[in-house]
Amino acid sequence: MSGIYIHVPFCKSKCTYCDFASFPKEIGKTESYFACLYREIEGRGRQLKDKTFSTVYIGGGTPSVVPSKFIAGAIRQVKKFFNLTPNAEITIEINPGTVDADKIKEYKSVGINRFSIGLQTGYDDQLKRLNRVHTAKDFLLCMNLLKGENVSADVLLGLADQTLEQVLKTAELAIAGGVKHISAYALTPEVGTPIYTDYLNGELPSGDEVADLYDGLKEYLKRKGFNRYEVSNFALDGFESKHNLNYWMRGEYIGLGVSASSFIDGRRFTNTFSIDEYMNAIIYNKSPEISSDVIEGDDAEFEFIMLALRTRYGIDLAEFKKQFGVDLKEKYKDVLALKAEYINVTDKNITIKDDYLYVQNDIIMAFLRD
């Protein structure tokens, strides 16, 4: 399985926690940017003509803030120059305050069949503090437009003064709206973002408090039929994100657009984070890449282990041996012995026990070789 990621770096306003490549003040460059993006799609598609891709994910930024004709054009260009599997999963991220019936109709007309909504919280005062451009009512109106569709909602944990009751009410709102998938992310205050000031002032919950919110949400979602299949992701059976699963399986993916990252043929590479630099590179038939690394040996093994252990499926021992030519249980027997109380080991796979999945970093880091 391989995936395609397309980055749309525009939004109405910058959320206080956002550290992604998104530029509200540069939305006037939308038409020029997409013209360059279409050219990159064509070029990469020709380079990768021998590969087949089963997912497409349009992220941002806020892809739904631009006119839908640009999104439709990108999908048509992908279908023209890439080999997609029949019924490929095609996802778009949307903000509830930036869509209408016509946009949804055009998205669906070009084959978009999965929608990821940035709900974050069901409380308008919290949304306003985060500088989100939507309300809880906007979310429900959006869900009404998407009735019967495959929809995921993002929920943030660790907001200032956030209570477990608020987290559960947010999840209840999402489920009542009809979502099939919920991604619950712990707020990470990045240096340079406005919310980092709240962190420095001690206004955000502690790590232990966030863990309690997470545990409460996990149990609530379990009762509602949402199974945790990755640390931050919960889904009804059959509605897991295939695109994200490909990342965690260390599958290949090509990133298109500003700041987009790729992993192809053992090489990881990333495009420039500047819109102007990106467009200049495309116009002059140059690569927009700013970094490139070949991942091999112990580093490749660690990536495989780290990504797999984030999921309920764990490390596929046969696949590990197939890719790296070594028996994991033999090579890492010291680590398996050291962390025995936290992991399940069978002849087929190795998983982190359910109670320890949220705090898996110490377990995973034990596999890192000097």
Lowest mean pLDDT among 12-21, 22-31, 282-291: 12-21
> Binning pLDDT at 50, 70 and 90, where does residue 134 land?
confident
Report the alpha-carbon distance of residue 157 to residue 187 in Å, rounded: 6
Q: Average pLDDT, stretch 313-325?
A: 96
Report the alpha-carbon distance of residue 338 to residue 149 in Å, rounded: 45
- DSSP annotation of 159 reads -
Q: What is the pLDDT of residues 323-333, one digit of tens each?
A: 999 999 999 99
Q: Which residues pair with residue 261 across a beta bridge?
A: 270
pLDDT at residue number 64: 94
Percentage of the chain lying above the pLDDT 70 cut: 92
Indicate whether 23 pLDDT > 80: no
Indicate whether 197 pLDDT > 80: no
Q: Average pLDDT, stretch 279-286?
A: 96
> Binning pLDDT at 50, 70 and 90, where does residue 180 land?
very high
HSE of 93, CA atoms in CB hemisphere, 13 A: 20
Lowest mean pLDDT among 89-98, 192-201, 208-217, 296-305: 192-201
Q: Average pLDDT, stretch 97-116?
A: 96
pLDDT at residue number 203: 64
Q: What is the pLDDT of residues 225-270, one digit of tens each?
A: 999 999 999 999 999 999 999 999 999 999 999 999 999 999 999 9
> Binning pLDDT at 50, 70 and 90, where does residue 68 land?
very high
Q: Average pLDDT, stretch 7-21?
A: 70
> Binning pLDDT at 50, 70 and 90, where does residue 187 land?
confident
CB 182 within 8 A of CB 234: yes
One-letter-per-residue 3-state SS of 43-96: HHHHHCCCCEEEEEEEEECCHHHCCHHHHHHHHHHHHHHCEEEEEEEEEEEECH
pLDDT at residue number 198: 64
> Binning pLDDT at 50, 70 and 90, where does residue 78 land?
very high
Domains annotated for the chain, with CATH where assigned, are 2-247 (3.20.20.70), 313-365 (no CATH)
Q: Average pLDDT, stretch 205-223?
A: 92
Q: Average pLDDT, stretch 130-143?
A: 88
CB 278 within 8 A of CB 35: no
Indicate whether 287 pLDDT > 80: yes
Q: Is the dihedral of CA 70, 140, 22, 243 positive or negative?
A: negative
pLDDT at residue number 22: 64
For every residue of 185-220, DSSP letters joined together read EE----TTSTHHHHHHTT-SPPHHHHHHHHHHHHHH
CB 80 within 8 A of CB 105: no
Any residues with CB less than 8 A from the CB of 303 and at least 6 apart, and which? 250, 295
Report the alpha-carbon distance of residue 38 to residue 289 in Å, rounded: 16
pLDDT at residue number 202: 65
pLDDT at residue number 357: 87
How far from 309 is each of 73, 306, 349, CA to CA, in Å?
37, 6, 10
CB 157 within 8 A of CB 217: yes
HSE of 78, CA atoms in CB hemisphere, 13 A: 31
Helices (H) and strands (E) counted in the chain, each on its own, are 15, 15
Please provide the average confidence, as pLDDT, over all residues in the chain.
92
